[in-house]
Amino acid sequence: MRVKRSESLLILLEDDRFVFHNYLRQKSFLANQTALEIVRQLNAWTEVDSLFASFPDYSQGSIVKAIGQLADLGAVLIEESEAAAGDAAFSKEWLWGPFAAAYHFSTRVGEFMTEEEGGERLRELVKVIPSPPLYQTNDNAETAIPLPVRQNFGEPFKTMARRRTNRVLRDAPISVHQVAECLLFSMAITAVIEDEDIVDLPLKMTPSGGARNPYEAYVCARRVDGLAPGVYHYSAMQQSLQRTGADTLPAFGDLLAGQHWSSDAAALIFLVANFERPMWKYHDGTAYRVTAIEAGHIAQNIMLVATSHDLVANPTGAMDFKRVEETLGVGGPTQAVLYCLILGVPGEAAAQRPA
C-alpha cells in the first residue's frame, strides 16, 4: 500500500506541540515529533514497508497503526482513496498558494449562532469590553472642512439613499421582470473588449479585476410570478435563466445558516465565484481578495435595483455552504458560493433615527 502526505496540510505550533490542520477536509489534531517525522518523509507516494527502516525504535505494527491514524485524521492519503482524489484535484487546480487556500476553505465551515444567542453574547460582552467606536470624527475645528451637501437629489441618488436591510419580509410574490432587472444591472455582459491574441473580455455594469468576471449568479425562486419554483442558472451573456441543481428547494432558512426570517423571501440570488478565471491570469493570493471585493459591487447593484422596485435585497454571507452548493449543483476546489441576496417584499422596517 502506498501513502503520501496531504497537499492541504498546515502545521502550526500550539505551546510546544504541533497542530496539524487539513484545511481542505477541515480536520485538526495535535501531533508529536514522530508524527511530524512520518509526514515529513511522505512527500511522495511511498510504500509503507519502506518507512520501517527510518523508525528503528518503533515496531512495524505501531508504524502501520500510526499511518492509519494519520490517514483518518487527514494528514496522510492512501493511494486511490476518495481523499487522495480530492487532494489531487485541489493541488492541480488551486493556484493561489496555501495561505489563501487555508483562509478560503477554513472559513466555509463556521458554526453560526441564532440571532438570540448572538444578541445575548453581545450584551454580555459589552459589560466586560465596550465596543470600539464605529465611526471616527474630525475633532479639530480649525482643520476640519464641513462639506456642502446638496438637498434635492434625483435618481439614482434617491434610490441609493433609500436602500436598507429589512429582515421583516411578507410572504408575497415578486415578478420575473424584477428578478430580470436585478440580474441585468449587476451581472449581464453589456459589452466585450475584443482581443484576438488572448481572449475577449466581457464587461458588465459592475467592475471586475482584469475583466476576469469570476461570478456566476444562481436564482432559487420560491414565489416569482412567471418562474416555476426551483433553482436556475443565469447566463450573463444570453440573459436567460435555465433550470439546474436540485429538483426541490430546501427552506431558505436551512440554506442560510438558520436565518429563518428568510424563508418568506420570494427568491435568493447566490453569487458563485469561479476562481479558475482570475487564477488563469493571476497566480497570487492577492487575487482572492480582489475576487471577494467584486461580490460587493454586484450585490450593491442588486440591492439598488430591488430598492427601486420597492423590494428588498438583504445581503448575507452566512450560509451552509455545502448545502447551498449541493442545491445549486456547483462546487470543487475552484468554485464556491460566497454571497447571497435575499430578495422579497418588505414588511414594516425596524425603527431607526436619522444620524
Ligand X SMILES: Cc1cc2nc3c(=O)[nH]c(=O)nc-3n(C[C@H](O)[C@H](O)[C@H](O)COP(=O)(O)O)c2cc1C
Binding site for ligand X (CB under 6 A): 164-165, 167, 259, 315-318
Cβ proximity to ligand X: between 175 and 300 the closer is 300
Cβ proximity to ligand X: between 167 and 212 the closer is 167
The DSSP result for 87-111, as a single string, is HHHHHHH--SHHHHHHHHHHTTS--
In whole angstroms, what is the distance from residue 164 CA to residue 182 CA? 16
Q: In what order do the strands lie in the sheet with 17-22?
A: 9-14, 17-22, 27-31
CB of 50 to ligand X, least distance (A): 50
Question: Based on the number of CB atoms within 10 Å of its own CB, is 184 exposed (0-12), middle (13-18) or buried (19 or more)?
Answer: middle
Q: Are 111 and 118 in contact (CB under 8 A)?
A: no
CB of 5 to ligand X, least distance (A): 36
Cβ proximity to ligand X: between 165 and 175 the closer is 165
User: What's the CA angle centered on 154, arms 151 and 156, to 5 degrees?
Assistant: 120
Cβ proximity to ligand X: between 85 and 318 the closer is 318
Question: Based on the number of CB atoms within 10 Å of its own CB, is 106 exposed (0-12), middle (13-18) or buried (19 or more)?
Answer: middle
CB of 296 to ligand X, least distance (A): 7
CB of 349 to ligand X, least distance (A): 9
Cβ proximity to ligand X: between 62 and 114 the closer is 114
Cβ proximity to ligand X: between 167 and 233 the closer is 167
Q: Which of 239, 237, 236, 241 is nearest to 187 (CA)?
A: 236
**Assigned C-alpha cell, 309:** 422596485
CB of 142 to ligand X, least distance (A): 33
CB of 273 to ligand X, least distance (A): 14
Angle between the 60-72 and 33-41 helix axes, to the nearest 10 degrees? 80
Q: Are 251 and 268 in contact (CB under 8 A)?
A: no
Cβ proximity to ligand X: between 301 and 316 the closer is 316
CB of 315 to ligand X, least distance (A): 4
In whole angstroms, what is the distance from residue 349 CA to residue 95 CA? 44
